[in-house]
Amino acid sequence: MIKKIITMILAWEARIALKRHSPKVIGITGSVGKSSAKEAVAAVLESRFNVRKSIKSYNSELGMALAILGLKTAWNNPLSWIKNIIYGFKEAFNLPAGKAGKNFPKILILEMGVDRPHDFDKLLKIARPDIGIVTAIGEVPVHVEFFAGPEEIASEKAKLIKNSSWAILNFDDETVWNMKPKAGAEIIGFGFGNGADILASNYKISDDGISFKMDYKGSSVPVRLKNVFGKHSVYAALSAAAVGIIFEMNLIEISEALSKYQAPPGRLRLLPGIKKSLILDDSYNASPLATNAALDTLQELDGGRKIVAFGDMLEIGKFTILAHQTVGEKIAKIADYFVAVGPRSKFAAEEAIVQGMDESKVINFSTSQEAAIHLKSKIQEGDLILVKGSQSMRMEKIVEEIIAEPERAGELLARQDEYWKNKK
């Protein structure tokens, strides 16, 4: 009840702030890639405009209100929530002690997520974006357990673009591209497939990042993303380029701005590990689509032994067993050693063995802490270790145990604030 009241108050303040300040609003949705797209869009627009983006992954009704007002969650601290409400009031009404005052951002970049049917209606009551970006949904979206199926969740997310002036859609994701008829807006498609308005080609990956060529209406520029990995990062960059084009930026300017883009913690960051190993840290969350992309990236990178530490994928309902078995099948083709974490990941471990992986190279643990201790003893020089799993599996604990510089965990890893540190 208290959370509901706080949400109502902050949502009201956020609506007032939007009405009084009239910023351009960019909304980002999808089953995966929202945070990466948000960071890429911010990197492009910050080179020219006064921008505010969602802090971390604030994409719920409460989170979006906090993002609009430039506030952080107070977790379980009642006094801090009261302060948030006071600051939010000052921000909304442009009072002197407001955090932004007369410098309220000209552009807001907001993540918009859904867990259940009609969640998007609540978000749209707070803010109706001028530009809507749909990143990727895939055949088995995350949070699908509360929907009849992928089609219903896609229909829910399509509400973003019904009233936007621009719809920026993933051309390569069939579910997303099929939203076109629902867009009451001009459409820009991005992707690798011929026919995309903003087209990527010549994708290359190395230990220091990725590069690709970006084409739009006959013009072409090279793009280099340092310390950023995986094709999903190309999609984030392309969606950001689409936003830059809408704001009348040229491709050279966009490419230069993208060079400053950095993936958020826990999203396919390559980190130095113990014993001169490398860690591909994708521990923030997991869905079938994102896990498949992470495994592709592991396969693309050169290295010694390839190790996968994989935790349960949650909130996928009736798809749980098959989705984990599919992951296990792919791991068997890529990995030299497989550490599975959680009861659902046993299906992946069993399938990896069925597909021919040496049973002695497949180990299952109940918790990330147990897995971390085991993995630490098995790592050898030159190993490349992918760490992936849903948020509740706390796979970042494995990364923290095997990272070369644990003293930098607060800077490099996901879920390092006091709330998560104290949560079991």
Give the residues across from 307 on adjacent strands. 337, 385
Closest CA to 240 of 231, 226, 251: 251
Domain residue extents for the chain: 2-258, 269-422
Element spanning 87, H or E? helix 78-92
Is residue 199 within 8 Å of 214, Cβ to Cβ? yes
Tokens of 111: 């993540």
Residue 369: closest CA among 338, 399, 406, 329: 399
Dihedral sign for Cα atoms in the order 419, 289, 51, 126:
negative
> Residue written as tokens 């992918």?
386
Q: Which two tokens stand for residue 380?
A: 């050898």
| Closest by Cα among 412, 394, 235, 232 to 309 | 394
Give per-10-residue mean pLDDT for the chain (424 aa): 92 96 96 93 96 88 95 90 93 65 85 90 96 90 72 91 95 95 92 97 95 97 96 96 98 96 94 97 94 96 94 93 97 98 98 98 97 97 97 97 96 90 78
Q: Residues 6 or more apart from 202 whose CB is under 8 A from it?
A: 211, 212, 213
Q: How many CB atoms lie within 10 A of CB 175?
A: 21
Residue 284 near residue 293, CB atoms below 8 Å: no
What residue type is assigned to position 106 of the chain?
K
Q: Where would I find the H helices in 93-189?
A: 119-126, 150-157, 174-177
CA 368 to chain centre: 21
Task: Look at the alpha carbons of 311, 317, 319, 322 in this order and tell me if their dihedral is positive or negative.
Answer: positive
CB 120 within 8 A of CB 159: yes
Residues 6+ positions from 82 with CB-CB distance below 8 Å: none
C-alpha atoms less than 13 angstroms from C-alpha of 187 in its C-beta half-sphere: 20
| Residue pair 94/103 in contact by the 8 Å Cβ criterion | no
Q: What is the bridge-based pairing of β-strands 219-226 and 209-216?
A: antiparallel
Q: Which are the contacts of 422, defined by CB distance < 8 A and separation ≥ 6?
A: none
Q: Note the residue count of the chain.
A: 424
Architecture of the 269-422 domain: Alpha-Beta Complex (3.90)
How is domain 2-258 classified at the CATH fold level?
Answer: UDP-N-acetylmuramoyl-L-alanine:D-glutamate ligase (3.40.1190)
List the end-to-end C-alpha distance of the chain, in Å, as a whole number.
24
Residue 180, token pair as written in the block: 């076109």
Tokens of 167: 């719809």
C-alpha gyration radius of the chain? 21
CB neighbour list of residue 334: distance below 8 Å, 6 or more residues apart: 295, 298, 299, 306, 308
Would you call 356 exposed, middle or buried from its count of C-beta atoms within 10 A (0-12, 13-18, 19+)?
A: exposed
Which of 386, 330, 319, 322 minimizes the C-alpha distance to 357?
A: 330
CA distances from 139 to 31, 125, 153, 289, 297 (A): 10, 29, 11, 8, 20
